[in-house]
Amino acid sequence: MKFQPGEQPARLKRGDVIDLEVTAVAHGGLCVGRFSGQVVFVRHTIPGERVRARVGDAPSHGRFVRADTEAVLRSSPDRVSPPCPYAGVCGGCDWQHVSLAAQRQLKASVVREQLARVGQEDPTRWLDLVVEPVPGDDEGLGWRTRMRYAVDARGRAGLRGYRANDVVPIDTCLIAAPGVRDLQITRRDWVGRKEVTAVAPSASTAVAIPDARPGVAKVREVAADRVWRMDATAFWQVHPGAADTLVGAVREVLNPRGGDHLLDLYSGVGLFAGALADDVGEMGQVDAVESDAVAVRSARRNLHDVPQVRIHGESVDRWLGRGGVQHCDLIVLDPPRSGAGKRVMASILQLRPRAIAYVACDPASLARDIATAKRVGWRLSSLRAFDVFPMTHHVECVALLEPQAPAGHLT
Ligand SMILES: C[S@@+](CC[C@H](N)C(=O)[O-])C[C@H]1O[C@@H](n2cnc3c(N)ncnc32)[C@H](O)[C@@H]1O
């Protein structure tokens, strides 16, 4: 139903069409507006615009509805013509209609807002935060070296729709790295498969792995002055400029010294452990903890020649809970999207490290874990944000946490 000015529905429902002012950006690639008092999260718009939007999802709690833009009634100067013909149809990109510079400003706003609202930071503290491009950035396109395609009942590979299970047929994805595009996944027959993962590594040929089965292909990456061999299904940073950038940012804030004992928690194939092992030297020690058996095998192979590194194939919470480590000097914390959580945060803070470098792909989880640390006397000392997922709402942060008081004086 389309509402005329002055006409107000009791409560918005699916299919309603509304005109509204878009006032702010929200986490998740959405913007916020209000319609007769109700909060509306709108996709494919920009703060400052006036849009006509169709309500998609109207949860029964009534606190908000989700809507998608049907027409832009007053356009933002940051609006651009999306480079990709599937923008707005496939669920992968959120910000194709926004200039790259403005995308980065929107992401910085989201990080700031999460830190203020959830992380209890002073809202004025991070006003100068910028989301930095990483080396290899090519107008935000051609960066995705790992892509998961969904396969429909007829064996055609495509991408998932937004918050949907349907498979959107596509020809080429413009954010996919050239090596991924060359595999021509969407032109091949995948009948009988549920999904296909395409991997285009920096130092070996691109591979397609049906149904994410480990053991099908090995790939090689080069980062932090090492060659990394891994099963193609193991975690690796997706943007070709991400691994070196994050290692550099972590090294800069942690400043490891010879002889330090460092923990690399959620260590994947051992990127940070291997990179920082030289910094702590053979008099130091690095404990790397990772639960994915496939990544652990790759890490052991990659770092077998670095005696100061020990790899533990276990979940971080269980490993910490066993109490094998009473103290450490530095921690790299690089959890999945859900963050570290209260228990892990409590355990690592008790180890009284000098500093924790928290590498975060979700600013909301990061902010929650920062709040946990602040409650027991820690502070957020520095923060950088990187645009390793251009065109999408995702952003990677490297946050430095340090004790307010010198180690050993915490309550
Ligand atoms: C964001 S990735 C980081 C990997 C690595 N630090 C890197 O940059 O390549 C998170 C890693 O945590 C692992 N993981 C997820 N939950 C875990 C848990 N509870 N305990 C240990 N590792 C976990 C995943 O398998 C994945 O390898």
Mutate to test the pocket of ligand 1, among 262, 266, 269, 320 (most ligand atoms within 8 A of CB): 266
Closest-lying ligand 1 atom to the alpha carbon of residue 335: 10
Give the Å distance between the CA of 163 and the centre of ligand 1. Answer: 24
Instruction: Identify the three-state secondary structure at position 76.
Output: coil
Mind listing the pLDDT tens digit for each residue in 16-50?
Answer: 999 999 999 999 999 999 999 999 999 999 999 99
Instruction: Identify the three-state secondary structure at position 178.
Output: helix
Q: Which two tokens stand for residue 67?
A: 């809507």
- CATH no. of 223-227+237-403: 3.40.50.150
Residue-by-residue DSSP string for 243-270: HHHHHHHHHHHH---TT-EEEEES-TTT
Is it the case that residue 8 has pLDDT exceeding 90? no
Give the Å distance between the CA of 313 and the centre of ligand 1. Answer: 11
164: pLDDT confidence band, cut at 50, 70 and 90? confident
> What are the φ and ψ backbone dihedral angles of 14, each rounded to 5 degrees?
-50, 135
Q: Which residues are known catalytic residues?
A: 361
pLDDT value of position 165: 87
Domain segments of the chain: what residues?
Answer: 17-74, 146-218, 223-227+237-403
411: pLDDT confidence band, cut at 50, 70 and 90? very low
Specify the residue for token string 């002012």: 21
Closest-lying ligand 1 atom to the alpha carbon of residue 234: 27
Q: What CATH architecture applies to the domain 17-74? A: Beta Barrel (2.40)
Q: Mean pLDDT across the stretch 55-68?
A: 93
Is it the case that residue 406 has pLDDT exceeding 60? no
Closest residue to atom 11 of ligand 1, CA basis = 266
Closest residue to atom 7 of ligand 1, CA basis = 268
Task: Tell me the C-alpha distance between 409 and 2, whole Å.
Answer: 62
Task: Tell me the C-alpha distance between 9 and 7, whole Å.
Answer: 7
Mutate to test the pocket of ligand 1, among 199, 222, 235 (most ligand atoms within 8 A of CB): 235
Closest residue to atom 20 of ligand 1, CA basis = 315
324: pLDDT confidence band, cut at 50, 70 and 90? confident
Closest-lying ligand 1 atom to the alpha carbon of residue 332: 6
Mind listing the pLDDT tens digit for each residue in 260-317?
Answer: 999 999 999 999 999 999 999 999 999 999 999 999 999 999 999 999 999 999 999 9
* C-beta atoms surrounding 125 within 10 Å: 13
Give the Å distance between the CA of 292 and the centre of ligand 1. Answer: 7
Q: Do domains 17-74 and 223-227+237-403 have the same CATH topology?
A: no
Closest-lying ligand 1 atom to the alpha carbon of residue 235: 27
Closest-lying ligand 1 atom to the alpha carbon of residue 316: 20
Q: What are the beta bridge partners of residue 158?
A: 150, 169
Give the Å distance between the CA of 319 and the centre of ligand 1. Answer: 14
Angle at 239 between CA 356 and CA 286, to 5 degrees: 35
Instruction: Provide residues with CB under 6 Å of ligand 1.
Output: 235-237, 266-268, 271-272, 289-292, 295, 315-317, 334, 336
Q: Which two tokens stand for residue 296?
A: 């652990």
Closest residue to atom 13 of ligand 1, CA basis = 266
Average pLDDT over the chain reads 95
Give the Å distance between the CA of 335 and the centre of ligand 1. Answer: 5
Predicted TM-score (pTM) of this structure: 0.95
Give the Å distance between the CA of 19 and the centre of ligand 1. Answer: 43
Mind listing the pLDDT tens digit for each residue in 90-144?
Answer: 999 999 999 999 999 999 999 999 999 999 999 999 999 999 999 999 999 999 9
Amino acid, single-letter form, for residue 15: G
> If we measure between CA atoms, which residue out of 256, 278, 234, 270 comes closest to residue 329?
256
Task: Tell me the C-alpha distance between 206 and 406, whole Å.
Answer: 49
Task: Tell me the C-alpha distance between 31 and 49, whole Å.
Answer: 10
Q: Which two tokens stand for residue 298?
A: 């790759």
Amino acid, single-letter form, for residue 255: N
